[in-house]
Amino acid sequence: MSNGAPVRGLTVYVTVACLVLMLPIVIVIILAFGDQGYVKFPPTSLSLRWFAVFFGDSRWQHALWTSVLIAIIACVIATALGFFAAYAFVRSDIRAKKLLLSFMLLPIIIPNVITAIAMYFMAGRLGLVGNVFWIGLCHAVVALPIVLLILLSSLQGVDLNLERAALSLGCSRFGVFTKVVIPLAFPGILSSALFAFLASFDELIISLFLAGVRSETLPVRIWNSLHLQVEPVIAAVSAFLIGVTGVVLLLDAFMRQVRLARLASNSNDR
């Protein structure tokens, strides 16, 4: 009985904290459906007017597709490099493994503004400011630690004996990768790819330094619009970004369930 009060108190505290954190998100979503020509909460009437403006404006659409293209580039590079790095960390006996892992996790530790300044000076010397592929590559640097941490956990669940059995039966190393390792680790690979895409899609600071006029991303477009005028369409764009984040998190939760079910099935087979 004595433990009941602290547990209830903790439950109430967590519930209130979650509601407070969600309140700004709810307000932005409600504002996105307002019909006024200015930002007002609560809106007097509801409509899809500002979503129509967002999807019908060529400048917003150019920023959206630029963000998608950059996020795909960052996702592919970060996932590929993160997979091979995680596999090397899990399977090999590399000297100074902890030091190398710490080095690869540096983008999480170093503030983004410092990373962005360094990337900007390098891009300026190479004439790559506004280059979409360069921005995607820089976003991949920030997304790589997230991919690495997810895949380290995923690849540790792949039984080494299965790889040895495949090799003993005449399978090549490439065949082991494509027929054993990748299928077993696929939920983790997809989960890491989704988070890499999301990390790039929502990145603002690095994009502010590198985008220029030619490659304005959606977060940069929002930033510039807020400096000039607080348009109601910004609420619609923000709600769209919240929706994209929610979809990615739901997909990740689904893949997490698939991975847990696969691990449980493997343990039962043993």
For residue 208, give the CATH number of its domain.
Answer: 1.10.3720.10
Question: Is 138 inside any structural domain?
Answer: yes
- Tell which wins on pLDDT, 116 or 176: 116
What are the pLDDT digits (tens) for 3-16? 566 777 788 888 88
CA 197: distance to chain centroid? Answer: 5
Cα–Cα dist 116/208, whole Å: 8
Tell me the per-residue pLDDT of 165-199, one tens digit each, with 9 for 90 and over.
Answer: 877 777 777 777 777 777 877 878 888 888 899 88
Listed residue (10, 29, 81, 17) closest to 238, CA to CA: 29
In a domain, 27, yes or no: no
Choose among 200, 219, 209: nearest CA to 113: 209
Structure tokens at 74: 């960052």
202 phi and psi angles, rounded to 5 deg = -100, 0
Q: Is residue 88 part of a domain?
A: yes
pLDDT of residue 265: 64
Whether residue 35 lies inside any domain: the answer is no
Residue 194 lies in a domain: yes
The pLDDT score that the predictor gives to residue 189 is 85
User: Does position 259 have pLDDT exceeding 70, yes or no?
Assistant: no
Report the distance separating Cα 54 and Cα 221, nearest Å.
12
193-220 confidence digits (pLDDT tens): 888 998 888 888 888 888 877 778 888 8
Environment class of residue 117 by beta-carbon count within 10 Å: exposed (0-12), middle (13-18) or buried (19+)? middle
CB atoms within 10 A of CB 269: 7
- What is the domain extent for residue 186? 59-269
Let me know if residue 119 belongs to a domain.
Answer: yes
For residue 73, name the pLDDT band (cuts at 50, 70, 90): very high
Q: pLDDT grade, residue 1 (50/70/90)?
A: very low
Pick from 236, 207, 232: nearest CA to 219 = 207
Q: Nearest Cα to 53, choosing from 242, 235, 246?
A: 235
Task: Check residue 96 and give left, alpha or beta (phi > 0: left; psi -120 to 50: alpha).
Answer: left
Total Cβ atoms within 10 A of residue 7: 9
Q: Considering the entire predicted model, what is its pTM?
A: 0.82
Token representation of residue 199: 């990390």
H helices of the chain, in order, are 4-32, 49-56, 58-91, 97-104, 106-109, 112-126, 132-155, 160-168, 173-176, 182-201, 205-210, 218-228, 232-269
What is the mean pLDDT of the segment spanning 63-72? 90
Mean pLDDT, the chain, as a whole number?
81
Q: How many domains does the chain have?
A: 1
Choose the weakest-confidence range: 12-21, 221-230, 233-242: 221-230
Q: Is 235 contained in some domain?
A: yes
In a domain, 52, yes or no: no
